[in-house]
Amino acid sequence: MSTALIIGVSSQDGSYLADLLVDKGYEVIGTIRRSTNFYQENIRHLIGKIRVEAADLTDSESMARLVRYYQPHEVYNLAAQSVPADSWSHPYYTGEVTGLGVVRILDAVRLHAPNARFYQATSREIFGGTCGVATENTPVDANNPYGIAKAYAHMMTKCYRESYGLFACSGILFNHESPRRSLHFVTRKITAAVACLKNGIEKPPLDELGNPLIDAGKIKLGWLESQRDWGYAPEYVEAMWRMLQNEQPKDYIIGTRISHTVADVCRIAFEHVGLDWRRHVETDKKLLRPTEIEVLVGDYGLAEQELGWQPRTSFEQLIRLMVDADLERFRS
């Protein structure tokens, strides 16, 4: 039986990856952070199927201890300070966790399980200032603290591969969403708001500024013309697994080659329940990023050719399935 260590199993991707690996017969060890309010919705269904351990990316020994003890065949790092918008208010912490934290795992693997295969969750935000179509050869041009921390981790993963011969690779993933996406992210914020409005929820969840997600029938968003290449998360974790089954460690772009605006997300989500999005959405300057990333889509050609991977769920299907899941979640 193969053993996989998933750092950040409570994340959207970590939980889907755990589902995939449990189905494939892996022994899965997943890490969570110590939390005062223990509430791990994404992994509740996995309790009893995986082992859960506490570890933090700021604590080298917590990483080394797990790698040393479990001797995993595969290590997936999905943990990070993962919210680009928050990285301006937490630049040091973002560098510490999203950047340096990855070196703590790489070193643990190098010293204690050098034959383990390592996956790093790189983001398209490493190309922040670049527009057009990204391939694996597109130069790094990050333009926010999150993207810069991810670029550092991406390059350190390459460095450990080339310097120490580790099987270490990065998936350069474009945005991917699902019903397990955190409410910090715009797609989920919109689908949750639509469900609360449709179901007449009086006490909606709070948004990232600590205000009710819906106030007087309206949701507050940032720049509506902002564009992203959005895919479906369960398909993206399959790509991660395939990368670690490859003969050689290599980095791959995972995306859909298509971009849409935030306004498109609103239109599809509200129309799905028969509402007019223009009556319920307003922009809030406080939610604008100091610098936006350029319009860029991900060319997944290499992954298609070498890993047999391609996206299957369309953008419209994705938004509708997220609305349906939130209608179910926010029933009363």
Enumerate binding residues for ligand NAP (CB under 6 A).
Answer: 8, 10-14, 32-33, 35, 56-58, 78-82, 97, 121, 123, 173, 175-176, 182
In angstroms, the CA 273 to CA 320 distance is: 9
3-state secondary structure of 42: helix
In this complex, which beta carbon is closest to ligand NAP, that of residue 115 or of residue 291? Answer: 291
Q: Find the shortest distance in angstroms from Cβ 262 to ligand NAP.
A: 14
Q: Respond yes or no: is residue 87 known to be catalytic.
A: no
Nearest approach, Cβ of residue 200 and ligand NAP (Å): 28
Of the candidates 76, 82, 125, 170, the residue annotated as catalytic is 125
**11 flagged as catalytic:** no
- Nearest distance from C-beta of residue 154 to ligand NAP, angstroms: 10
Residue 139 to residues 94, 133, 142, 193, 201: CA-CA distances in angstroms? 22, 12, 9, 37, 46
Which residues, including other chains, have CB under 8 Å from residue 199's CB and lie 6 or more apart?
327, 330, 331, 332
Q: Which C-beta is closer to ligand NAP: that of 33 or that of 250?
A: 33
Report H helices in 184-300: 186-198, 233-245, 262-272
Q: Please enumerate in sequence order all residues whose Cβ is within 8 A of that of 212, keeping only pairs 6 or more positions apart, or say none.
A: 203, 204, 205, 206
Nearer to ligand NAP by Cβ, of 82 and 256: the residue is 82
Judged by beta carbon, residue 123 or residue 138, the one nearer ligand NAP is 123
Partners of 281 in the β-ladder: 219
Any catalytic annotation for residue 152? no
At 283, is the secondary structure helix, strand, or coil? strand
- Residue 252 phi/psi, 5° resolution? -135, 145
How far apart CA 154 and CA 146 sit, in angstroms, is 12
Nearer to ligand NAP, 80 or 197 (CB): 80
| Shortest CB 98 distance to ligand NAP, Å | 7
Minimum gap (Å) between residue 273 Cβ and ligand NAP: 24
Among residues 146, 152, 160, 232, which one is catalytic? 146
Rg (CA), the chain: 19
Q: In degrees rounded to 5, what are phi and psi of residue 260?
A: -140, 160
Active site residues: 123, 125, 146
